[in-house]
Structure 1
Amino acid sequence: MRRLGISVYPEHSTPEADRAYLERAAAHGFTRIFTCLLSVDKGAEETVEEFGSFISYAHDLGFMVAVDTNETVFERLGATPFDIAPFAKMGVDIIRLDSHFGDRGNIVLTRNPYGIGIEFNASHNHPLANLIERGANAKNMVACHNFYPEPYTGLCEEYFERYSKIYKDLSMPLAAFVSSQQPDTFGPWPVFAGLPTCEDDRHRPIDLQVRHVIASGLVDDVIIGNCFASEDELAAMAAVDLTRVRCRIDLDEGISEAEREIVFDFDHAARHDPSPYMIRSSWSRSSFRERQIAPRAFDAPVFTKGDVLVVNDNMAHYRGEIQIATRDIPNDGVRNRVGRIPEEEQFLLDYILPEHPFGFIR
């Protein structure tokens, strides 16, 4: 089950602002929180008390909480891989390891008596399969990508997929970050250019970032890296269909109700026998065997990538089939253009694989 999450940084905020943000996110169905202990410069007792109070309130709202750590954080709290009692006292659900404790330390951490999950940095190629062979508790291991505050330093698509597959092949729950586009957001460090995992997501609208990460088929949980996201952004994320690729469509003027029905009222899935020229969904054809779809003129000799087409009466056997052009296709009169995928969303078409479900956003 996929989850949506937020990030909160109590050392840079106030309890009142944090609690209000948690309440807004909880109201939209968010259930995961990321927070960072790397940037906290306080003693053990004060840190445990402050974050313990924050985590307790988060639990009351139904959140699970992950804290980012390293060796320095452990030392400051008086913890070791063999004794993580300070984290248990705080009520932590997941300890994220920004850096690790060597093979022996990592294995012992996954066997902690509190059942606290141990989260590994998925933006690296950790040999976790080897750790599992040597006794690490796979059921207590999760993974989460980095976020990247500095512009142009986020992961490229190739390595995002390559690293993600390592952890998905181990059936390990995987999280990644997206970024609020609000002007005054912040993270754990004094860098204010967003906190995404993938560089290409840095300036995209937040719902498109989520749809990109989900379209990869590799990520379970999607977390906003910076805070505070706006109410509209929380709502936009909550409205994303986490089960399939969905693209926005700019509908053409003058399309029929039948064509509108085909676009929005059917569960589309790409055919098992893909064409290099288009993505086809045939489910709607059976409903249009005895119904008409009149041909409509389209003032262009070819359809181009991103054009959404419906087969009309001039090819009655295929009437009602919906197609998305992925290359230029001659406009030979057997297809009506009903709309177009905006250019900034056309990259999502690469994720619609044979037999995978997809849909359109009104």
Structure 2
Amino acid sequence: MMRRLGVSIYPEKSTPEQDKTYLRKAASYGFSRVFTCLLSVQKPKEEIKADFVDIISCAKELQMEVILDVAPTVFDQLGISYDELSFFAELGADGIRLDLGFDGLKEAQLTYNKYDLKIELNMSNDVAYLDNIMTHQPNTENLIGCHNFYPQKYTGLPYEFFISCSERFKKHHLRTAAFVTSSDAKMGPWNINDGLCTLEEHRNLPIDVQAKHLFATGLIDDVIIGNAYASDKELELLGKLHRARLELSVELEKNISDIEKTIMFEETHTRRGDISEYMVRSVEVRKKYAAYSVEAAKTPVQKRGDIFIGNDSFGKYKAELQVVLKDMPADERKNKVGHVLEEELFLLDYIHPWGSFTLREK
């Protein structure tokens, strides 16, 4: 399932031109999803329709999918029924997100709506809600899931709970999504905005690290920036991410050789299958660079996150790249060439046996 990036917009808090400019910029960086919210809109029905048709038309021209967040109060306010979704089709939306659920049968029936709208479920509940829906034989082509975001600090999901919730959806092979937060954006649906992330541990992390983590779990297909407007730099960082393979940001040691840089940055590394608890071993590179010289250099104590390459004194292990997982004594047969950035050290746990990864100089 192709992984995607998304942005959020809040038309009631901005202007059409601001939103359109943001969508065009996001699309230029490879973003293809838009989350927007009707929960906080307080306008007459026709004004809402005019505003959203305008902005959704722009998104569709950019080939971006648009999902509208709704709740029963929205239907009551607009005088529309869950049995007739023409209003959302007329807006040009691709689907609606049900912030609150029903009895399982209703959700299943909604997936067969005549407008072919996607029905997105709230993933942030670790109960048998989805299993109940699946017993009613929904059209899974139109059934997707998305976690909540949490504007108040310390209220985001804990990691293990997030994993349990997400596994319920992946078990049924449904597309999933979760939110990351921009450190620059200030806009959300409510007047409290301490960031708009799904996982509490992400709230103060760089945006690209948040996204890497969500993709690395293997449980999230779409990563959406919850608040608006993310900076150009943040959009660029996410746009450059390899969505299917973990990429670690590295601080280089001084005076390392060109061949060591080549081994680090111009190769895709694969962790050896018969793993060690002390290091991630990338062994294929030692075969490719066996004929090159790796002169002995700095060999300090090996700390978690350090990156070493075997030097000329290491025999058949010369040019092997290793990422340290547990502290070890110094080994003069290896050169220290870099260190994984502190905020990304926890991502080392996601390099599984035979898993591939790349390195990027920060």
Q: Identify the TM-score tier after normalising by the shorter chain.
A: over 0.9
| Structure 1 residue 207 displacement after superposition | 1.4
Matched with 1:141 is 143
Task: Give the aligned partner of residue 176 of structure 1.
Answer: 178
Q: Secondary structure at the match of 1:7?
A: strand
Q: Which residue of 2 aligns with 1:310?
A: 309
Q: Whole-Å Cα distance in 2 between the matches of residues 220 and 32 of structure 1?
A: 12
1:101 maps to a residue whose letter is: F
In the alignment, is the contact (CA less than 8 A) between 1:81 and 1:106 conserved in 2? no
Give the Cα–Cα distance (whole angstroms) in 2 for the partners of residues 194 and 180 of structure 1.
Answer: 7
Asked if the contact 1:279–1:326 (Cα under 8 Å) also holds between the matched residues in 2, the reply is yes
Instruction: Say if 2:131 is the partner of 1:132.
Output: no
Letter matched to residue 7 of structure 2: I
8 Å Cα contact 2:130-2:168 kept in structure 1: no
2:195 maps to 1:213: no
Which range moves more in the overlay, 161-170 or 7-16? 161-170
* CA–CA separation in structure 2 for the residues paired with 1:48 and 1:77: 10
Q: State the SS of the aligned residue for 1:209.
A: helix
**Farther-moved stretch of structure 1 (48-57 vs 90-99):** 48-57
Question: What do the CA deviations read for 1:117-176 (whole angstroms, capped 9, x no partner)?
Answer: 000111113532332232211121000011010001111221222211111111111111
Q: Which residue of the partner structure matches residue 324 of structure 1?
A: 323
- Which digits, 9 at most, give the CA deviation of each residue in 1:194-239, with x for residues without a partner? 1011111111111111112112121111111000111111111111
1:203 aligns with 2:204: yes
Q: Corresponding residue for 2:337?
A: 338
Question: C-alpha distance in 2, partners of 1:141/1:289?
Answer: 51
**Which residue identity does 2:224 align to in structure 1?**
I
**Structure 1 residue 38 displacement after superposition:** 0.6
Provide closer, same or farther for how the CA distance between residues 288 and 29 of structure 1 changes in structure 2, counting only shifts above 3 A.
closer
The CA deviation at 1:240 is 1.2
Kept in 2: contact 1:82–1:105 (CA 8 A): no
Q: Which residue of structure 1 aligns with residue 101 of structure 2?
A: 100
What is the alpha-carbon distance in structure 2 between the residues aligned to residue 201 and residue 297 of structure 1? 35
Compute the displacement of 1:81 (Å): 2.5
Structure 1 stretches of 4+ moved >3 Å: none
What is the TM-score normalised by the length of structure 2? 0.96
Amino acid at match of 2:26: A
Alpha-carbon distance in structure 1 between the residues aligned to 2:332 and 2:144: 53
Residue pair 2:307, 2:322 contacting (<8 A) in 1 also? yes
Matched ranges for 1:223-234 at <5 A: 223-234=224-235
1:356 aligns with 2:355: yes
* Structure 1: unaligned runs, 5 residues or longer: none
CA contact (8 A) 2:104 2:136 kept: no
Structure 1 window deviating more from structure 2 (323-332 vs 45-54): it is 45-54
Question: Equivalent pairs: percent with the same residue?
Answer: 42
RMSD: 1.3
User: How far apart are the structure 2 equivalents of 1:330 and 1:288?
Assistant: 26
Question: Contact 1:273–1:354 at 8 Å: present in 2 too?
Answer: yes
SS in 1 for 2:104: helix
Structure 2 counterpart of 1:275: 276
| Contact 2:272 2:281 (C-alpha < 8 Å) held by counterparts | yes
Determine the structure 1 residue equivalent to 2:111. 110
CA contact (8 A) 1:81 1:101 kept: no
Query: Amino acid of the residue matched to residue 88 of structure 2?
Result: F
Matched-pair contact (CA < 8 Å) for 1:81–1:108: no
Q: 1:13 to 1:225 in 2, by over 3 A?
A: same
Q: What SS does the corresponding residue of 1:83 show, helix, strand or coil?
A: coil
Unaligned runs of 5+ residues in structure 2 are none
Q: 1:46 to 1:297 in 2, by over 3 A?
A: closer
State the Cα distance separating 1:60 from its structure 2 match.
1.2
SS of corresponding position for 2:77? helix
Count of matched residue positions in the alignment of Structure 1 and Structure 2: 359
Which residue pairs with 1:242 in the alignment?
Answer: 243
Asked if the contact 1:310–1:336 (Cα under 8 Å) also holds between the matched residues in 2, the reply is yes
- Alpha-carbon separation, structure 2, partners of 1:226 and 1:142: 21
Residue 5 of structure 2 is matched in structure 1 by 4
1:249-281 deviation line (CA, Å, top 9, x unaligned): 111112111111110111101111111101111
Q: Which amino acid aligns with 1:129?
A: D
Q: Give the corresponding residue for 2:33.
A: 32
